[in-house]
Structure 1
Amino acid sequence: MPESEKSLELKLHSPAGVEAIIFHWPLTSGSGADKHDGAYEIVETIRWVCEDVPELKRAMEVNILSDYDTRSYESMRQLCDKYNRAIDSVLQLEKGTSLPATRFNKRPSRGMLKHILTQIYNHAVVDPEKLNQYEPFSPEVYGETSFELICQMIDQIHITEDDMFVDLGSGVGQVVLQMAALTSCKICVGIEKAETPCKYATEMDRLYTKWMRWYGKRHSEYKLMKGDFLKKEHREGITGSSIVFVNNFAFGPNVDHMLKEVFADLKDGARIVSSKSFCPLNFRITDRNLSDIGTIMHVSELSPLKGSVSWTGKPVSYFLHIIDRTKLERYFQRLKNPKLRVSLQGV
């Protein structure tokens, strides 16, 4: 390949008026199993900007986005140049109006965010196979949770700006970044101890900030931390959270037991979403299980979603636990009152 071709660039101007994003030619090809397609990424990025800017959509879709050759540098350069001129024109027309502030200081749509997260994952996680190099069913087993599952969780639990979210075993950070973009949580935190996911999470963090700024989209505060979530230094942060997410499907009994000890200190109303339930769905308090975590939580099953995790295509159930200490208080009140003992079965 000629030396001159290696240094060719394709530039996309920001719809928010910040620094342009540069792609280097030749673009990555989508031929390999784990390779992403750089040309497809450019076209999809333009399409998502068009979804945000109706004036641009009308200008681009008529003939520009329907006629290009992803194998030709000249064709892709013309596509980018036409997009750049169009978005520059829109921004120029909007100068001095309130349109930029109202349009570009919002959270991204779910479709746009999925594109952004896929985009940054493809660049940050250069060797996805390394994420699976753990002993099967060990506490460190790595399984990525799907975008759709987190959307389902967001839809089913009421989230406010007072909520604090924590992902225990956050991998490369996708769940935390998604929660930060789509919810008004005060802060979203991820804790991961494995070296490889943490290394990739650092790059995910950098690219997420870069692309969210480029699109002009806001997000809640977030933090991706390296560490063992079972260590003492993280306990206060976890017990102070109101939403806990944990993909504990293959953690094993020892880790689950230690997590239960941490969860026993969560505040009333705190919610835990996990891939394995921390107590039976039909748990009933008796004098033999008064020390069980089930005495202070209600548990229900979220509707199974096919493809909700990366390690199986089968539908995987997730469970919602809500901390409620009045459950145990009601049990003792009924014990004191012989007339209420008959209803103990319902506790």
Structure 2
Amino acid sequence: MGALNQKSKFKPPAPTIRVQRVPIEKPKQLKPKPSPANSNYNLLQQQRAKPQSKAASPYPGSSSADESRRTKRKAPGGGNSRSPSVVKFDSDDTDGGEDGDNDVFLGARRKKRRLARVDPNRKLRHSKIWTGAVDEKEKGKERDPSIIHAADLANLKSKCQPALRMPEEEVGVELRYPGGRGRERYELVYGKDKIDAVKDITTVVKFVAENYLNDEDAQPFLEPSTGLIRQLQKSTNVNDGQAFKAAVKDYNKRLFALQKDGTIAKHLDSISSFPSDLVAFILDQVYDRTVAPKVELLLKYENGSDNVYGELLHPFITDILVEKTRMKSEQVFVDLGSGVGNVVLQAALEIGCESWGCEMMENACDLADAQLREFQARCQLWGVAPGKVQLDRGDFRTNERILEVLRRADVVLVNNQAFTSQLNDSLVSMFLDLKSGCKIVSLKSFVHEHKSASNDVAMSILDVEDLTYPSDYVSWTHQGGTYCISTKK
């Protein structure tokens, strides 16, 4: 045997391993990108993403590549929801660490208080909120206004499949809301471009617990290990439909008791605003049940004209109304070219102000009217009082009621991204009648750089602030862009 292959007579000492504990700082959780605001908006996006010439795009920079953008409309919160609005389910069926869960529980409560906006003139509670004065079993009871139930759109008859391993004959479930006696009908099913009943129900329960109850009353709902939301999450993770329905039944019973003893109404009287993620969720419920099923009607526009369609998403509007213009409930908001009414409804719900819109495209007007009906019904179900809403049809340049309300408007929105220069010049003439200090929010400036102050009317009557918005604030592109806030001198 060679020398190199012989075993050494000397045994080396065993290596020593040094163990040192090094504290690792917990990484900060990144702010999630906003997720789709509704389940059916992708139909519009898929249609727009079809190959077409660049000239067919109504908005600058929205090439066919750009138009293969988000598959669904986004929502608000810090980024238009539904990222804050949607409940994030755990990846397993365990209870998880108690300490971390308690931090989440307490953090949600603190966040709700921190985001609350104070408006002493805002009366948040709906005048027709149900407070238990009439027992549900009594005949001749006053019923809640008619809503479009989730089960009317997402059901076994519309090519959906049972969720959570539920037998077909047992997919039906009803959900109670904090402001009304009636319940919304759901079917626990799933289907492409359909309302996700499981997620929708869980999110409603989460928002009710976080925004309609004090810490003590919310404990049975939000308790990390055994609370109702945890039960809904666990049953979803393990596909246990019967457990999910049992948790919904328990929630309905508990909420019914809180309505009857006046807890819900009392809490609404103590606050003057909802967080932006709840505002976005309510608006998305309205959109999903009215616009989304007929969204293909919005594809019909005349390229190269003023009749084009694009949406400013929830977080953009929250930023404008809450942060930039600081609107209050006693003020007046006007949207010139209001489309399906999204922004008008958001201003009325989030701020509580008098909110006006005017649109001339017939299909958009029809969908706006449908949204307004559903919006008013759902506000009553949620127990919240929006500001007065008025949606007018026709050309805002000649609509007498719009011209009159502009004289007392505090904030005017014009999504003039694709307006012709002639229409923008006509708007400047209309702005002559605005009161001093009125804010005009627009995607493009009304002041022409190539003109001098002597012959530019806009420059003589407006002080313009140029601003930028981040990605995912508008429906026609992922990218950010620029906008203006002009103040009437």
Give TM-score, length-normalised by structure 2: 0.58
CA spacing shift, 1:64–1:38, aligned 2, 3 Å: closer
Matched, 1:251 2:419: yes
CA displacement at 1:198 relative to structure 2? 1.4
Contact 2:202 2:229 (8 Å CA) reproduced: no
Q: Which residue of 1 aligns with 2:234?
A: 66
Q: 1:296 to 1:136 in 2, by over 3 A?
A: same
Q: Which residue is equivalent to 1:112?
A: 278
Secondary structure of the corresponding residue to residue 272 of structure 1: strand
1:101 Cα deviation after fit = 2.3
Q: 1:43 and 2:210 equivalent?
A: no
> Hey, what does 2:410 align to over in structure 1?
242
2:328 is the alignment partner of 1:160: yes
Q: Find the aligned partners of 2:449 and 2:268 in 1 and give their Cα distance.
A: 44
Change (3 A) 1:140 1:204: same
Partner SS state of residue 273, structure 1: strand
1:20 maps to which residue? Answer: 182
> 1:153 deviation in Å?
0.7
- 1:1-347 matched pairs, under 5 angstroms: 5=168, 9-16=172-179, 18-25=180-187, 27=189, 29=191, 31-32=192-193, 35-52=194-211, 53=213, 54-55=218-219, 56-58=221-223, 59-68=227-236, 74-92=242-260, 95=261, 100-103=265-268, 106-125=272-291, 126-154=293-321, 155-185=323-353, 187-233=354-400, 234-280=402-448, 285-286=453-454, 289=455, 292-324=457-489
Q: Which amino acid aligns with 1:101?
A: K
Structure 1 gaps of 5+ residues are 325-347
Show CA shifts across 1:210-265 (max 9, x none). Answer: 22222222222121222221214232222332211010110111111111111122
Q: Call closer, same or farther: CA 1:73–1:279 in 2, change over 3 Å.
A: same
Query: In structure 2, how many angstroms separate the alpha carbons of the residues matched to 1:203 and 1:5?
Result: 31
Question: Quick one: distance in 1 between partners of 2:222 and 2:451?
Answer: 54
CA distance in 2, matches of 1:28, 1:299: 49
SS in 2 for 1:114: helix
Deviation at 1:24?
A: 3.9
Q: Which amino acid aligns with 1:115?
A: F
- Separation in structure 1 between the aligned mates of residue 406 and residue 426 of structure 2, nearest angstrom: 13
Alpha-carbon offset, residue 107 of structure 1 = 3.2
CA distance, structure 2, for counterparts of residue 65 and residue 23 of structure 1: 20
Contact 1:39 1:70 in 2 (8 A): no
> Which letter does structure 2 place at the counterpart of 1:19?
R
Residue 333 of structure 1 aligns with which residue? none
Shift of 1:5: 4.9
- Are the structure 2 counterparts of residues 103 and 235 from structure 1 closer, same or farther at C-alpha, using a change threshold of 3 Å? closer
Measured after TM superposition, the shift of residue 72 of structure 1 is 6.9
Matched residue count: 312
Q: 5+ unaligned residues in a row in structure 2: which ranges?
A: 1-155, 158-166
Identity, in percent, stands at: 26
Over residues 155-186 of structure 1, what are the superposed CA-to-partner deviations in whole Å (9 max), with x where a residue is unaligned?
A: 1113234421100111111111111112243x
| 2:297/2:363 contact within 8 Å kept | yes
The structure number with the bigger radius of gyration is 2
Q: Do the aligned partners of 2:465 and 2:484 also contact (CA within 8 Å) in 1?
A: yes
Contact 1:167 1:191 in 2 (8 A): yes
What letter corresponds to residue 306 of structure 1 in structure 2? S
| Partner Cα distance (2:238, 2:418) in 1 | 42
1:226 alignment partner AA: R
Deviation at 1:11, TM superposition (A): 1.1
Q: Answer whether contact 1:11 1:20 (CA < 8 A) is retained.
A: no
- Deviation for aligned residue 1:61: 3.2
Displacement of 1:27 in angstroms is: 4.0
Q: Which amino acid aligns with 1:25?
A: E
Contact 1:159 1:184 in 2 (8 A): no
- Superposed displacement of residue 203, structure 1: 1.9
Distance (whole Å) between structure 2 residues aligned to residue 82 and residue 283 of structure 1: 67
Preserved contact between residue 69 and residue 75 of structure 1 (Cα < 8 Å): no
CA distance in 2, matches of 1:75, 1:110: 31
AA at the equivalent of 1:10: V
- C-alpha distance in structure 1 between counterparts of 2:208 and 2:326, whole Å: 29
**Does the CA-based 8 Å contact 2:473-2:480 persist in structure 1?**
yes
Q: Per the alignment, in what secondary structure is the counterpart of residue 127 of structure 1?
A: helix
1:136 and 1:267 mapped to 2: Cα distance? 34
Q: 1:237 & 1:96 partners in 2: Cα distance?
A: 38
Residues 275, 60 of structure 1: alpha-carbon distance in 2 compared, 3 angstrom cutoff: same
State whether residues 307 and 316 of structure 1, in contact with CA within 8 Å, keep that contact through their aligned partners in structure 2.
no
How far apart are residue 39 of structure 1 and its match?
A: 2.5
- Whose RCO is larger (CA < 8 A, sep 6+)? 2
Residues in 2 aligned to 1:137 and 1:71: alpha-carbon distance in whole angstroms? 51
Instruction: In structure 1, give the amino acid aligned to 2:430.
Output: V
2:469 counterpart SS class? coil
Q: Distance in 2 between matches of 1:323 and 1:75?
A: 59
The structural deviation recorded for 1:81 is: 0.8
* Superposed displacement of residue 143, structure 1: 0.2
CA distance in 2, matches of 1:316, 1:170: 20
